[in-house]
Structure 1
Amino acid sequence: MDHGLAERFERERLRLRAVAYRLLGSLTDAEDAVQETWLRLARTDPATVDNLDAWLTTVVARVSLNTLRSRAARREDPLDVRLPDPVVDTGADDPAHAAVLADSVGLALLVVLDTLTPAERLAFVLHDMFGVPFDEIGPLVDRSPAAARQLASRARRRVRGQAPAPDPDLTRQRAVVDAFLAAARDGDLDALVAVLHPDVVLRSDAGSARARHTVVLTGATVVAAQATTFGRLFPHARPVLVNGAAGVLVSAGDRPLSVMAFTVTGGRIAAVHVIADPRRLAALGLAG
């Protein structure tokens, strides 16, 4: 193995992980895709690689596409969406998470990406998020560049129609989330409804990886009523960043109970995503 090539790969590792995470929505699968990319590079003659950055991007994208296609083949209900893994920033210095958080992709967007076909998702992510030209994307999905452009266009329309755009001001986001938590603690339904978008969507993994489907609640009144049932836990919540947006980590002592991600749009909460499965929380390496 060429040591210079290995060093260049290490310089690209975090970017490749960010690409794979956006394609797969899973931190573990993203790391596996990057590792497979490294193994393929190790078996490759360096003389055949003209542009290493482009080569690595192509390989990690192809590996991720195979994973997406395997998921689609296994999925019993094509409408069911597994909540993506959150990237939680508790303030610790973690360069791997920092790479994923750069130009963060919110969980609400990742949920919508999971409804796309594998080819649509790849075309959209590579072009719109990483600037890969369509003449490089086309061969990955066995399409012409023009057809790849159409795939990305369809995905873009879906994203714009279904993924709420978060408010850019993190301080405002935090103020809205704090108001939600305070109202839930007090059991104040009116205050909760006031801070929720009328069409708010709450998605939860129901606290178990064995749950067959993600639990989905819609509408301000329904979500507000649900929030009052677990508002007693919120004194144990502390602010964190989840995929670059305002979120909370709920803990009992040093044991994480849930991660809650919020999408705040126009000063109201448009989406809430709750990860409470103990195995998923353990894999995130969180401490209360």
Structure 2
Amino acid sequence: MDYSHLYDMYKPLLFTVAYRMLGSIKDAEDIVHDVFIQLEKVDLSTINDPKAYLTKMTTNKSLNYLQSSMKKREVYPGQWLPEPIVNPDANAPLECLLKEESISYAFVVLLHQLTELERCIYILREVLAFDYKFISSIINRSEQSCRKVYSRAQQKIQKSKPSDQTSKEEAHELAELFLSAVKSGNFDAFIHYLSKDVVLVSDGGGKVLSAMYPIISKKRVVAYLKGIHRRGTFQGQLSLVKVHQKVGILQQNQGEPKKLITFNYSKAGVQHIYVVMNPNKLKNIGHTFSF
């Protein structure tokens, strides 16, 4: 076992843990980079379980980062959405976790509606299948406390868990309908697929004009989409891209990403529309991850 072997084996895992905790590609990259820098100072022969050891380091660094940035999140202007992982080629295969997350963007959004502690324990328990003894050692809480926090997080997840009922082909067709709508200005065909209680959330980060609060109900979402279309906010190049596991729409002006739109579907139709416009969350689109 050497450092390069550990790096190649665990980099994808550590990145996805940090990303799900932080919702930021750059911050997750930095966390993983710091972990392996710190690992160079460790005698590898003393590590019995590399996966557990590296996961613990990544989790602790992520929690420390969240605590240090908590005030920034509290004063964030408008709605906050995680940074999406986007592949500009909508037909590209899922190659690895470093390029595309293995869970939907809607589920990443849901994870970030949990508290930092709930999210941490849920990821360690549900995603990585660590036992409560190990989780307890990471966050310095009793196993009983960890069980309670996990149960609370699980209840929240189950209550709001995205239930995507569409096939890949259906999702692609609906995205194409939205593309046609914004190009023509006629949203009638797309409106037919909106659920009655659809919710639109937009994140401009205070850098781009966006809705300060979620827009709820079919009527209000339609009015909002038509309104911003009349103001010309969809002008530019529009294309289908892959956002995590699903198809999304990327708007660019002169090659610069301006807007990323993703959808979450239920049996009733389109349940959520997420619009990421914060330039800081779009700058990694099409870039190769590097450490």
TM-score by length of 1: 0.85
Where relative contact order (Cα < 8 A, 6+ residues apart) is larger, the structure is 2
Q: Percent identity?
A: 26
Separation in 2 of the partners of 1:242 and 1:7? 29
The question of 1:150 aligning with 2:148 is answered: yes
Q: Find the counterpart in structure 2 of residue 56 from structure 1.
A: 54
TM-score by length of 2: 0.85
* Residue in structure 1 matched with residue 252 of structure 2 by the alignment: 251
* Secondary structure, aligned partner of 1:270: strand
Instruction: Say if 1:210 and 1:78 are closer, same or farther in 2 by CA, change over 3 A.
Output: closer
Which among 85, 101, 125 is matched to residue 87 of structure 1? 85
Match for residue 261 of structure 1? 262
Answer whether contact 1:237 1:251 (CA < 8 A) is retained.
yes
Tell whether the 8 Å contact from 1:208 to 1:278 is kept in structure 2 after alignment: no
CA contact (8 A) 1:61 1:122 kept: yes
For residue 102 of structure 2, what is the aligned residue in structure 1?
A: 104
Instruction: Report deviation, 1:189.
Output: 5.1
Deviation at 1:212, TM superposition (A): 10
Q: Deviations over 1:32-58 (max 9, x none)?
A: 110121122112222321111111111
Residue by residue over 1:162-217, the C-alpha shift from the partner in whole angstroms, topping out at 9 and shown as x without a partner, is 23222362111111222233344444454343211112111112374477985421
The residue aligned with 2:36 is 38
Aligned counterpart in structure 2 of residue 171 of structure 1, from 169, 172, 182: 169
Q: Which runs of 5+ in 1 are unaligned?
A: none
Aligned partners of 1:271 and 1:162: how far apart in 2? 12
Matched to 1:238, the amino acid is S
AA matched with 1:64: S
Q: Distance in 2 between matches of 1:244 and 1:67?
A: 27
1:82–1:214: 8 Å Cα contact kept in structure 2?
no
**Cα shift at 1:17:** 0.5
1:6 maps to 4
> What does 1:215-254 align with in structure 2 at a 5 Å threshold?
215-231=213-229, 233=234, 236-254=237-255
Q: How many residues align?
A: 284
The Cα offsets for residues 7-44 of structure 1, whole Å up to 9 and x where unpaired, read as 32232112211111111111011111101211221122
By how many angstroms is 1:229 displaced? Answer: 3.3
Structure 2 CA distance for aligned equivalents of residues 151 and 86 of structure 1? 27
- CA distance in structure 2 between the aligned counterparts of 1:124 and 1:19, rounded to whole angstroms: 11
Could you tell me which amino acid in structure 1 is paired with residue 282 of structure 2?
Answer: L
Deviation at 1:75, TM superposition (A): 3.8
Give the 3-state SS of the residue equivalent to 1:283 in structure 2.
coil
1:270 alignment partner in structure 2: 271
1:68 Cα deviation (Å)? 2.0
Question: Are the counterparts in 2 of residues 199 and 270 from structure 1 also a CA contact under 8 Å?
Answer: yes
Q: Is the 8 A contact 1:167 1:173 kept in 2?
A: no
Query: Partner amino acid for 1:255?
Result: E
Measured in 2, the distance between the counterparts of 1:48 and 1:95 equals 39
> What's the counterpart of residue 129 of structure 1?
127
TM-align CA RMSD: 3.1
Stretch of structure 1 that moved more, 268-277 or 234-243: 234-243
Query: Offset at 1:74?
Result: 4.3
Say whether the 8 Å CA contact 1:173–1:267 is kept in structure 2. Answer: no
Q: Give the aligned residue type for 2:249.
A: V
Deviates further, 164-173 or 115-124 = 164-173
CA contact (8 A) 1:203 1:273 kept: yes
CA distance in structure 1 between the partners assigned to 2:259 and 2:183 by the alignment: 16
Structure 2 CA distance for aligned equivalents of residues 210 and 193 of structure 1: 26
Aligned to 1:162: 160
Q: Which residue of 1 aligns with 2:189?
A: 191
Q: 1:207 to 1:225 in 2, by over 3 A?
A: farther
